[in-house]
Amino acid sequence: MATQERIGTHRLVVGAHYGSRDFLVQRMTAIIMAIYTLILILAIIFSPSLDFQSWRHLFTFHFFAIPLGQLLATLAFLSLAWHAWIGVRDIWMDYAKPTGVRLLLEVLTALWLVGSVVFFAKILWSL
């Protein structure tokens, strides 16, 4: 009996282009984090003093009525969490071969990252 080959447009492809999106997301989040880090470094360098009030002002300054410091910090932290999720998930997919173990590790990673984002938001937005 001859087996039927799937060639050309009749080929069954599952999961195509998932890697492209993750690649682009990791690059975009890395750019966001790099820009935010550069802004923080410049703010620290040009700050006359590094006491508690000036440090707090880095995260709570407003532009007109918009809490820009908090929004930028939140964007940077969400980028960090998304960047970490893609990287750690890929590690689990590459090295944790049993499906149950991989699922458990991915769930624990997701819970840890969601908990970190909630904890971050609670601290930052209570300032």
Q: Which amino acid is at 44?
A: I
- What span, in angstroms and rounded, lies between the C-alpha atoms of 84 and 65? 32
Binding site as annotated, residues: 83, 95
Binding site as annotated, residues for heme: 83
Binding site as annotated, residues for a ubiquinone: 95
Read off the DSSP letter of residue 3.
P
Query: For residues 73-100, b (16+ Cβ closer than 10 Å) or e, as one string?
Result: bbebbebbbbbebeebbeebeeeeeeee
